[in-house]
Each structure stands twice: as structure tokens, then as C-alpha cells.
A and B are shown apart, each in its own frame.
Chain A
């Protein structure tokens, strides 16, 4: 006879507790709103990246599927990005990261065919960035094609689709997603190309090799000086 009312009372108690708890906690932060508020200025409303006159404000992040990387970026503020460690709480950062990796990251990243990627790389990418992706000279743009040897796969994929600064964009009609993944695979590989032959001299090519040959010849000439030491000719 007292069970139903006591259950009811318990229910009311629990509910009121829960209500009280809910009111004590604010609602879960809106990742999209935070993103538009803090990030879209540099990264664009959809994370597509923003160009400035010569270079970029913020890169395309539509290939960023890694939650931890986004968190880290907001914490640390890599490169030109400011740190949001004192601006956003951890909760807020988490929701932004969720939003980025779940809603904005539309460029798929998967394993590709590295051989095919290399072939496309040498047609589309090597002309600007060089075969060992150490960057190449551009004319009149105010900036050279950058060295890609430290970039992450996500940022590379994003840049290919978007075309930051003077770089052209490569939409799916030029490189479909499979080809994009192949190219990114190849670029990741060639960031540290195998150099079984010894020191690669920073991949400068024949100019550096010629320079090295002449330095060695001068060394040899010094050696001939030793061989014929005291010789009066």
C-alpha cells in the first residue's frame, strides 16, 4: 500500500535531482557555432581554407579525420595559428574537433596505389614542388612552392583539393578520390626518400653534385701538393 506512493516519491526525487543537475551543467557546446565563431575566419565556413594576397590565412582542413590532431592544433597553435588553450575549454575544443572530423572532413583518406600516385605526382605536382618535394621556384607570385617534407597527409590532401595561394585546385574531375589518395601516399613516401647511396645533399641535384666534385678535386690537388712536396717544377 505504501509502495506505489514511495516509488512515486522516489521518482519525483530522482527527477528533481536530475533536473537540478541539468540546470547546474550548461548544455553541451555547439561545435559548429564555436567553429564559425573562432575558426571560420581563417579556415573558411566549411573548413575550405582562406587565401590572402600572396599566401594563405589558414589551410583547408576537409581531410582532417584525426580527432587528436585537431585537439593538438587548438592547444598548441602550430605555425601561424594562434593557440586556443586559454580561449576554449577542453569541452569546447572537443566539440569543435568532433564537428571538424565528423561534419567538415569530406575528403576521404585511405590507402592508395603508390605507383599510380607517383606517376600522377610527376605530371601534376613535381613541376612546382620538385621530385623530392623540397619546393620549387615560382615567378612573380611573391612566394615559392613550399617544401612539403614536413606536412601531414591531411593537410596535403586538403591543399590539393583547394589550391592555396598560387596553387591551382584539383577537383574530383581531375583527380578522383582514389587518385588523390594515391598521390598523397606517394608524397608521404617521398618526404623521406630512400638514399641508400649516401648523403643526398638535401636533394639539390646536379648543381650540388658538381660543386662537391670540384671541392673533391681541390682536395686531390692538395694531396698532389703533398705527393710532390718540395718539388720545384
Chain B
């Protein structure tokens, strides 16, 4: 029966679009069989969940800063003045059936989306997958990460609660601190000391239209390039710069990938149903006179927050002009981080002497490139320490210590941690690399077969990786 349907549909489409050849190539497209190649898919499927849940939310959200008085289901805010944006999210959370579930799914999916992107970038970094010919996709991917960060930030600022409103105010201060163009930048991006009447419609437009449009377009290009260039492979039998080994798209990979989609959706639903996120009714509506500690952004901006807390209060005067202290940790640091990431493939080519060089389609194992791996681990440690610094007051309250003590330790750790990590990881990788090289040499000596190329060896009936 399914066979019948497939044949009929295929013929119908082929008559109009000449798809048979493409369909055949598509179904035979080979995907490598390793879990680490699925991280990008987790990100993609989280994005689909975001779009679907976001569409639902957009039906109820009202991007208006107009002040209204609340008389809804949540009695602790009865009679309180708030923006209509906040009121609409309260209405969605308490009075719309499944509204809270969808809203929480949306927020959790955003956190997982960016986490998956970061994990994916980490995998690419540690296996040197960004090398020629994949620099373009690396750059596109980093841009996707930036867009995702921005969209996440605008997204959780839309409900106009006390926590995210404070975050908007801080973002305004950061933009203001940029030398020379700071005032103009702050007014262009945020329209003045937030919140202004224009803030919510602007953020809403960016969040549901402009940035998702750019993300969609870049994802399409990203996937098209992967399709064109084909995936990389881990080193192994039959895998080289000339052949790719894995499973075909149809039927096995499609089934696994579809299964992963439903599992991602399921995880998001489980989180949305069982673990509360962003309880805006407890934070209360944004009031520029009110504030509360525990004012952290979502995790993906926690490192910027941590940098802001740890950076000492130094004023840099250039003559009569001032570069405020927030500029360095909150603007310059992220700029440097992303600039380094963007040029990293080209930097690596320079350092490795890969110019000019061939296209690389076989990945390098992390231990084969100790410098790269150690640097990457050190940077990860740096970001992790900064993330925890972003919550230093929460740590202080949870452990019953003084935030000054916590901050002191973190200030030491933010330097000591990465340096220590670098040396430890370098030493580990170099050790593994040496041991592997030695064991391969030994086995090569033991099982040399005459009349073979000296570089190809057979171990136990299976073709061992060539050493070229």
C-alpha cells in the first residue's frame, strides 16, 4: 500500500519537476555514523520547536508598553499598574489553556538551542572541522550563534518583567559606554533610556520577524553547503579525503534523525511541563524604581554578566573624555571573543602552515592537536568561571558566605583556571598522542606483510587506517 502511494507520488512530482535523479542521489547521500554529528541537528530541531511554539505565543502577546491596571487571575498583582505586554503574558500563563506549557517549552527550547549550538561549535573546534573547505560554514554558523543570542535576549525581554527590564537597562548602559558612538548606538538600538514606548514593538519585530528570517536563510545556506561538500569523517577504515563512509539518508539516517526530532520535542515538553522557568509573576512588572538581586540574564549571556561583576572599577580617561568601566567586560570582551572565533580557521591555517593546502575531509582527533585542544579547553574553563561569576550573589546566599569572598576566589580562578586547564590538557593530549603513535608503530612492526605499500597494514582481518 505504501509502496503504491510512494510510486504514485513520485511519478506525480517527477512529471512536473524532474526529481527522480535528485531523489535517488538524496536517498543515497551518506551521513557519517557518530553521535557527535547529531549536535547540529539537536540545534536545528530545537529551532523548529521554537518556531512552532513561538507561533502560538505570538497569537497572545501584545507588544505594547501602554500602562494598564491588572484585574486577572493572579490575585497578588490585582490593581497593579503594568505594561500591556506584561499583562498579555500573565494572561497567557494563567488563563490560556496550555498557555503556560507552550511558553515554558519555548523558553526551555531556546536554552537548549543555544546550548546545542555551543556543543556543536565545540565539536567542530576540537576535531578541526573548520579547516578548508569548511571555513564558510564556520563563519555562517558563528553568525547563527550571534543571531540566536540576540533573539534569545530579545525574547526573554519581551514580557517586560522586573528581571528582564533590569537587563534592558543594563544593555542600554553597555551600548552607551562605547567610545565616541555610544550615545547614538544606544538610541538607535534601544530608542533611549529603556523602556520607551517604542521599545516593545521594536524588540517584537526583531524577535519574530527579522532575526528568525535571517536565521532561516542562514540555516538553509548552512545545510546546502553541508550537502554540497558532504560531511567529514572521523579517521578510520575506508575513510579518506576521497571517500566518505556512513549510512545512507534513506532509510536508516532519516529514521534516526526523525527519532531525534521527536526526542528533542519530548525533552522540551518534559521540561516545559515539569520544571518552571522564568516565573514572571513572582518577579513582578518592570518598575524603573524597583530592583532585586539575582538579576542574571539567561545562561548564554551569563559570561558577560560575570565579566561585568569581576572587572574592577577602572576609569579610563582620554583627555576630557571617559571610557566607562563597563565597556571592557561587556562590549570589548565579547567583541574580541567573536573576532577570534571568526578568524580562527585562517589563524589555524597560518600556524599549521596549511597555506596553500588541500581540502580536508577527515577530522583530526582532539589528542592529535594538543595546542588547539588545550587552548579550546582553557577558553571553555574561562567561560564556565565567568558563568558562575555571573551568579556570585546566588552562590553566596546558597552557601551562606560573603559575596566578597566568592568574588575574590572567582577573580583568582578566572586566570588560574584557564592557565591550569591549558597545561593539564596539553600534557594529557601529548601523552595520548605519543602512546598511540608508539602502539601503531609497534603493531606495524609486528604484522608487516610483504608486497604491500609500507603504509597499509592489516590487523585481525580488518583494514587499519592508513598513516598518510
Contacts and interface: CB of A to CB of B under 8 A. Distances in A.
Q: Do A and B come into direct contact in the complex, CB within 8 Å?
A: yes
Interface string B392-409: 111011101011100000
Interface string A15-27: 0000000000000
B290 to A, nearest CB: 4
A231 interface: yes
B293 A197 contact: no
A205 B76 contact: no
B36 interface: yes
B299 A209 contact: yes
A227 B260 contact: yes
Given A123-B287, A126-B292, A233-B37, A200 B279 contact: yes
Contact of B104 (A116, A189, A194, A197): A197
Contact of B294 (A122, A205, A219): A205
Nearest to B232: A233
A123 B285 CA distance: 12
B190 interface: no
26 contacts: A114-B76, A118-B77, A119-B284, A122-B292, A126-B284, A127-B292, A136-B292, A190-B76, A193-B282, A197-B100, A197-B104, A197-B276, A206-B163, A207-B391, A211-B299, A213-B111, A214-B299, A216-B267, A220-B112, A220-B264, A221-B119, A224-B38, A224-B39, A232-B33, A232-B236, A233-B234
Interface stretch (A99-107, A137-145, A154-162): A137-145
A134 to B, nearest CB: 7
Interface residues of A, number: 61
B34 to A, nearest CB: 3
B33 A228 contact: yes
Interface of A: 113-116, 118-119, 122-123, 126-128, 130-132, 134-140, 142, 144, 186, 189-190, 193-201, 203-214, 216-217, 219-221, 223-225, 227-228, 230-233
B80 interface: yes
Interface of B: 32-39, 42, 70, 74-80, 93-94, 100, 104, 108, 111-112, 115-116, 119, 162-163, 233-234, 236, 239, 245, 256, 259-260, 263-264, 267, 271-279, 281-284, 287, 289-294, 296-300, 302, 363, 387-388, 390-394, 396-398, 400, 402-404
Nearest to A215: B115
A54 B108 CA distance: 41
Given A197-B276, A199-B275, A122 B163 contact: no
Contacts of B267: 216, 219-220
A126 B302 contact: no
Contacts of A116: 79-80
Contacts of B298: 206, 209-210
A12 B191 CA distance: 95
Contacts of A186: 76
A1 B259 CA distance: 115
A40 to B, nearest CB: 31
Contacts of B234: 232-233
Contacts of B39: 221, 224
- 3 closest A-B pairs by beta carbon, nearest first, are A210-B299, A231-B33, A233-B234
Given A122-B287, A210-B299, A210-B302, A233 B397 contact: no
A67 to B, nearest CB: 30
A136 B388 CA distance: 16
B464 to A, nearest CB: 13
Contacts of B404: 139-140
B296 A206 contact: yes
B403 A206 contact: no
B275 A201 contact: yes
Nearest to B111: A213
A204 B398 contact: yes
Given A207-B299, A233-B34, 12 more contacts: A118-B284, A127-B291, A130-B397, A132-B282, A139-B404, A199-B275, A205-B294, A205-B394, A206-B297, A207-B391, A213-B108, A216-B267
Nearest to B396: A137
A131 B402 CA distance: 20
B286 to A, nearest CB: 10
A64 B277 CA distance: 37
Contacts of B281: 193-194
B276 to A, nearest CB: 3
B411 to A, nearest CB: 15
A221 B39 CA distance: 8
Contacts of A126: 162, 284, 290-292
A197 B290 contact: no
Contact of A144 (B76, B260, B397): B397
B292 A195 contact: no
A219 B35 CA distance: 12
Given A206-B297, A221-B35, A144 B259 contact: no
Nearest to B259: A227
Given A190-B282, A205-B163, A227-B256, A123 B289 contact: yes
Contact of A212 (B100, B275, B392): B275
A225 B35 contact: yes
A113 B100 CA distance: 27
Contact of B402 (A139, A198, A201): A139
Contacts of A195: 276, 279
A189 to B, nearest CB: 5
B76 to A, nearest CB: 5
B457 to A, nearest CB: 18
B128 to A, nearest CB: 14
Contact of A209 (B38, B75, B111, B290): B111
Contacts of B80: 115-116, 118-119
Contacts of B259: 227
Nearest to B406: A137
A115 B79 contact: yes
B42 A220 contact: yes
Given A119-B287, A130-B292, A190-B76, A197 B277 contact: yes
